[in-house]
Structure formats: C-alpha cells, structure tokens
Amino acid sequence: MSQAFEDRSLGLKLKGYSIVPNDALETKIAIYTPEIVQSILSEHPEIVDNWLLNIHEEYIAKKKLCEFDNDPVACFNLSLYEEFEKHLKSWNDGGMIAISLPGDKAIRVSKKPLISFARLSAAEICDVCKLSFGSVKELVRHYKEEHPVMVERVMIPI
C-alpha cells in the first residue's frame, strides 16, 4: 500500500509555520483515513523524507533569490522556510514531524523508531523459557525462583 504514497503529485507544503499536505495528498488522506496514512508513513519514513526534501529545495531556491537577486517576495517568505529548517533538522535527528490536517488533527511521523527492543542483550533473556527482562538483576531473580537447579550448577555468585 506504500506505493500509493509514492506518486509524484503527492507532497507537503508550508502554510504559515505549519507543514500541511498538498491538495493531492489531502485527498489521499481523506480516502485512507489519517490513522492508516500515519501507520503507512511510520513504516516508510523515506516517503516523508522525500517530501521534506522538496520543501528544503524550495528553501534553497528562495534563499538564493533573496540573497543574490534581492527578490522582496522571496525575502518576505524566508522566515517560514527557516522555521521549517529547524523542523527538518529535528526530523533528521530522529524527532517527529507533524503534518497538520483540517479540524485541528495531525499526522505525526518519526524518521527513526522511538522505542527499540534491540537493546536487550543475551544476558537479559532466560535461556530456558525465553522470557526477557529489563535488567540483569531481574533475570537473576527469575533464575533463582524458576530455575534454582541451574543457579546451583553454575554457581552464580549472588
């Protein structure tokens, strides 16, 4: 289903200081529902990454027009893009981006997962029953209660 959001007509734009979907994306969100779209984009943050890259390229173009051509319209809108650049930096550092929707709703997507279960080491998983524990202390307590024979055999100093 993520292919449905890789259409080149879809994208994001700035509306004031908010990041909003363009008309094509807003229609797609209305069809799929915000919850489903958030789920799809959370699984495929590279789609949002491409949309944000397009806004970043707009910022670079406006900045050049302002600095080199002294275009007053480009200079006037530059502060909006500079605020966006802060959001983009946060996104690249693993933060969340909020895509504002009508009715005070938003789709929130993170480039990197907020919770990672890869931090559990082998020492925090019971080899016998495959339960996982938040700390080595909890694992040792589990071995003492559930597998006391193994604790005596290994002679774990506790």
State the pLDDT at residue 151. 59
Cα angle value 30/34/35 (rounded, 5°):
140
Confidence of residue 123 (pLDDT cuts 50, 70, 90): low
Confidence of residue 156 (pLDDT cuts 50, 70, 90): very low
State the pLDDT at residue 83. 93
Whole-angstrom distance, CA of residue 68 vs CA of residue 61? 10
DSSP 132: B
Whole-angstrom distance, CA of residue 123 vs CA of residue 143? 12
12-15: strand order across its sheet: 12-15, 18-21, 96-101, 105-110
DSSP 150: H
State the pLDDT at residue 113. 59
pLDDT at position 115 over 70: no
Whole-angstrom distance, CA of residue 102 vs CA of residue 21? 10
Q: Where are the domains of the chain?
A: 2-110, 122-154
State the pLDDT at residue 116. 42
Whole-angstrom distance, CA of residue 65 vs CA of residue 59? 10
CB atoms within 10 A of CB 41: 22
At 25-78, the pLDDT tens digits run 999 999 999 999 999 999 999 999 999 999 999 999 999 999 999 999 989 989
Look at residues 116, 108, 123 and name the one whose alpha carbon lies nearest to residue 156: 123
pLDDT at position 120 over 50: no
Q: Are 68 and 74 in contact (CB under 8 A)?
A: no
Mean pLDDT of 78-88: 93
Whole-angstrom distance, CA of residue 139 vs CA of residue 135? 7
Residue with tokens 């259409």: 7
